[in-house]
Amino acid sequence: MSIEISNESGMDVAEEDLIDIARFVIARMDVHPAAELSMVLVDSGTMADLHMRWMDLPGPTDVMSFPMDELEPGGRPDAPEPGPSMLGDIVLCPSFAAEQADKAGHSLAHELAVLTVHGVLHLLGYDHAEPDEEKEMFGLQNQLLEEWYEELRRAEHEARLAARDQQLLGKAGFFDPTER
């Protein structure tokens, strides 16, 4: 899976976290592992321009998605095995997201994670124009985000245990093959 990210926003953002959550969502949504995704982080002025040009709405927004190929999550049962494809582009505006994060009382990193999941779901054909669609999309968005955080917690826990085990083995005088 190829995920390219370009930070043109002028803000310091944990790009690896954005790639990680995008990769997680794409995998969970059963998208072909060779799929490609492009993420661009822009400033408010650039996002306002895109928002007006593509949505005919004034001012910046938090995230916009530009799908490339028509995909369905899980694929159609009668379709041939899907091949790799370009999902499209997700454009994020970290400065706008920072304002939203402050209002919501959480971190910018969390807000950008939410927006990344939201953007990927849009690329996969989800929408929230109708109440039923909104319920489905936001329910799935929240579920995927919680699963990702749980995976991060599990990995951190395993890393702590491994570090503790390594420290205990060192104190007990066991031979460490990595130390020569």
The C-alpha atoms of residue 109 and residue 46 are separated, in whole angstroms, by 21
Residue 118 annotated as lining a ligand binding site:
yes
Which residue matches tokens 């928002």? 51
Which residues lie closer than 8 Å to 121 by C-beta, 6 or more apart? 25, 29, 137, 140, 141
Residue 106 annotated as lining a ligand binding site:
no
The C-alpha atoms of residue 108 and residue 28 are separated, in whole angstroms, by 24
CB 86 within 8 A of CB 123: no
Residue 32 annotated as lining a ligand binding site:
no
Q: Which residues are annotated as a binding site for Zn(2+)?
A: 118, 122, 128
Q: Which residues are annotated as a binding site?
A: 118, 122, 128
